[in-house]
Structure 1
Amino acid sequence: MTRIYAIVAAVAIILLTAGVWVFTAMGRNDDVFAQCRSSAVAGGTGQIGGPFTLVDETGATVTDKDVIDEPSLIYFGYTYCPDVCPYDMARNAEAVTMLEEQGYSVKPVFISIDPERDTPEQLADFTDYLHPRLVGLTGSAEQIKAASQAYRTYYKKQEPEDGDEDYYLVDHSTFTYLTLPEEGFVEYFRRDETPEAMAEKVACFLDAR
């Protein structure tokens, strides 16, 4: 009798272990982008992204639905940024061009965090120089704050050192966000990501849809 109990117990353990393995495997398969991800977000990717209303380079009011109508790489910065923003956006533009050469259409997006100076006209000059498809967005201080909060970004205007109110720097986070029309935010890229690596990862996400 003891032997029978032992056999039954062993079979139960095997079945339980198999069930846990299957459940875990099924959970992993729920994420169709699992093989593409190289970053993690506390609470899941649903914590980043969301609706926004801003103003484009023509002065027209647009929403996130208007802007993210195709895969998009979104960056928050400002046109008067002396070094970081131009470098990061040039990297993003290069990645978009590489993707275009591979047959992928990805929209580069630049959202200003400096509404006092970044007018639609200022943005148009900045974006036209970097890439013909780069979309520049600005808006009121409240609109920009709402967009920034949706994407969990940080920015803070610094007091001008020489007292000239027209010349100041803005501290800000420097992530680039890959956002898809149906899925929303799916991945972010750090500053040290090369355009080649970025293009490769974006292509992985687009192929996995």
Structure 2
Amino acid sequence: MKILIAAALLLLTIAGIFAFKATQDKSLDLATSYVFEQPRALAPFTLADQYGNPFTNQSLQGKWSLFFIGYTACPDVCPTTLNKLAAAYPKLQKISDSFQVVFVSADPERDTQTKRLDYINFFNKEFKAVSAEHSALFPFSRDLGFVYAMVGEDSDYQVDHSASYVLVSPRGEKTAVFKTKPTPGQLPQILNSELINDVDQIVSNWR
């Protein structure tokens, strides 16, 4: 079952890459991201951040938002990614002083508000850690282009999830996606140098 889910995630990722390549802005020299030809506003959503405050479409207005999905019990991809984003954050803020990083927990049953607060504070206290019940979380994640699935039984389950980032503009529009690259002997990753380069170009050329 886990193999089938992993294969499905891989196929969705591959399909997404080809779809995004078709809409790539030729005027930008991007290393790891794909810009949507027609940015699209996210559907109305309501989640909660690590302080219990509502996180809605209004929370995106006037800010560049970089989204990543995962869960606090993730053994490898999530802590590695959040460490990398914490390291990149000062340079991302220089590109835009209204830049926010948003970690989306796909495990609302175990990732309580307190657990998300403790977890995200370990990496960067300025990051957001949001979640909601699956009834609200699933359509929101799908709207961003993320996928996730529970694997296993009882309390020992894991969560298979996307490893990409999604950039949302200050108008609350899904603007670009950042895809991981396979690295022999290592987890697929997005290099910080390429992330920063691409974000700089996208923000500078945004209308």
TM-score of the superposed pair, with normalisation by structure 1 = 0.73
The match for 1:127 among 105, 120, 124 is: 120
2:101 counterpart of 1:104 = no
Q: Is the 8 A contact 1:73 1:92 kept in 2?
A: no
Q: Is the 8 A contact 2:95 2:200 kept in 1?
A: no
Q: Is the 8 A contact 1:57 1:121 kept in 2?
A: yes
> Unmatched 5+ residue regions in structure 2?
1-23, 181-188
Range with greater deviation from structure 2 (186-195 or 123-132) = 186-195
Aligned CA distance change for structure 1 residues 33 and 80 (closer, same or farther; 3 Å): farther
Of the two, which has the highest radius of gyration? Answer: 1
SS at match of 1:76: strand
Q: Is the 8 A contact 2:57 2:172 kept in 1?
A: no
> What one-letter code is carried by the residue in structure 1 that aligns with 2:194?
A
Q: Number of residues paired by the alignment?
A: 173
Q: CA RMSD in A?
A: 2.5
Equivalence for 1:63: 56
TM-score of the superposed pair, with normalisation by structure 2 = 0.74
**Percent same amino acid at aligned positions?**
25
> Unmatched 5+ residue regions in structure 1?
1-30
Rounded to whole Å, the distance in 2 between the matches of 1:126 and 1:45 is 35
Equivalence for 1:180: 169
More strand by share: 2
Rounded to whole Å, the distance in 1 between the matches of 2:117 and 2:26 is 34
- Structure with the bigger RCO (C-alpha within 8 Å, sep 6+) is 2
Shift of 1:167: 2.2
Aligned CA distance change for structure 1 residues 49 and 91 (closer, same or farther; 3 Å): farther
Q: Is the 8 A contact 1:32 1:208 kept in 2?
A: no
Q: Is the 8 A contact 1:112 1:136 kept in 2?
A: yes
